[in-house]
Amino acid sequence: MRWFKFMFTGLVLLAIAFFAMFIAEMSRAPSLERKKEHKEKIILDAAVAKKKLETLRKEIDRLASASLYVKKMILADDSAAMEAIKDISRLAVKNGLKDVDIFYSDQNNDGVLAQAGALVLDKDLARTFGLRKARPVFMAIRFEGDYGSLLAFAGDIYDMKTVFSLEQVSIERDDAIMPLQRIFILAAAYMY
């Protein structure tokens, strides 16, 4: 009988230990389920973040190519400004303009306009257009031509790879050069 009590006590203790382990496992299961759900949520968030990152990379690439396109249209340095002046001279010849004079300044437009004999505009044109870091490059172009050649010349300037703003156009009638007109154009480009 003693052996039976000992065996019975051992079986009861084993059953209690098994029951305790079963309860411990059952209490860990919801914890593991919560951890699994948390990990799945992290994986889902990572997938969403990956999609957003891909979209952001595409946007960065698009903006970089747009920036390159815009940089090609803006004067980079003085040599680019001189090249633009040469291009404008070629356009003037192409459009049959007579007595073409081009005055250039990257300081302010007063000196250029005084040389060209035109009216003086606002001294800080760049700030007027919100281009604080921009360095304006002014060209006063004086020539003789008719309205058709003026419009063709302005259209050709518009089609140049460098963006120019025609800030002022002045047309004077002179009986000595009729049927042509004396024309002044103030063009501005910006260097960054």
CA distances from 175 to 70, 96, 141, 143 (A): 44, 20, 21, 15
Q: What is the pLDDT of residue 48?
A: 92
What count of residues does the chain have? 192
Q: Is 161 helix (H, G, I), strand (E, B) or coil?
A: coil
User: Which pair of structure tokens corresponds to residue 6?
Assistant: 């000992």
Taking the C-alpha atoms of residue 124 and residue 129, their distance in angstroms, rounded to an integer, is 9
Furthest-apart CA atoms within the chain: distance in Å: 144
pTM surpassing 0.95? no
Residue pointed to by tokens 């209490």: 27
Q: What is the pLDDT of residue 135?
A: 67
Per-residue pLDDT 10s for the chain (192 aa) are: 677 777 888 888 888 888 777 777 777 667 777 888 888 999 999 999 999 999 999 998 888 887 776 666 666 666 777 788 888 888 988 998 988 888 877 655 455 444 444 444 444 544 454 445 566 778 888 899 988 898 999 999 888 888 888 888 888 888 888 888 899 988 888 765
CATH number of 78-191, picked from 3.30.70.60, 2.40.10.350, 3.40.50.11260, 2.40.420.20: 3.30.70.60
Q: What is the pLDDT of residue 152?
A: 92
Domain locations along the chain: 1-73, 78-191
